[in-house]
Amino acid sequence: MLKAMQRRSFKGNAFTLIELLVVISIIIILMGLLFPAFRGAQDQAKKVQAKNDITQIVTAINAFYTEYGRYPTNSTSDIRFGPGGTANDVLFNELRGIAGTTLNTRQIVFVSLPDVKDPTNPRAGIGTTTGAGQFFDPWGTACNVILDADYDNQITNPYGGSANAGISPLRQGVIAWSLGKDKTQDTDVKKGDDVLSWQ
């Protein structure tokens, strides 16, 4: 009789294989629903980081202008740093006051950006091996910067005054932008992932 009671109580407290499979499948479904939300939150965090970075860069360049009365370039016409222009390490070496820079003669540190964590796959910082000295956005593309080196307070909008990126020319001395996760220039920045300093 005692053994029969123990068997009944054991059967009453245990999960059946079907119940375990149902619980596991519910957990898998919930994880599947939460994963896209987690990825979206990560993408949004990277966009916020990119916006902060390019704002910091524009501020540093304007501080350089305030200190030296010129932008950190020898060019006499507007100059683009980053993909499609001059490698941005020249600009960032000047802004970081690296020894041997020619324009930042007092070696003032205008911007303090971290080194990348993975030197062979640079993201979110200054490259140390691959792209040494260049600044990379959170997605691994070199940051774009244009300086008004002819000092007419006009920069041609890299989006051509379309793509919901503002008018062209832009009435600014310096602009910076990130190409975002897809690493290509958007045809509509309101729907795309590009991050612009002037918006």
* Tens of pLDDT, residues 65-112: 999 999 999 999 999 999 989 999 999 999 999 878 889 999 999 999
Domain range summary for the chain, segments of one domain joined by + = 19-196
Is residue 161 pLDDT above 80, yes or no?
no
Task: Name the average pLDDT for the chain.
Answer: 88
* Tens of pLDDT, residues 102-141: 899 999 999 999 999 998 999 999 999 888 899 999 999 9
SS3 track for 20-57: HHHHHHHHHHHHHHHHHHHHHHHHHHHHHHHHHHHHHH
Please give the residue that has the higher pLDDT: either 20 or 91: 91
Is residue 5 pLDDT above 80, yes or no?
no
Q: How much is the pTM? A: 0.80
Q: Buried (b) or exposed (e) across 108-133, using 16+ Cβ within 10 A?
A: eebbebeebeeeeebebbbbeeebeb
CA-wise closest residue to 139 among 95, 194, 75: 194
What's the gap between Cα 158 and its chain centre?
Answer: 18
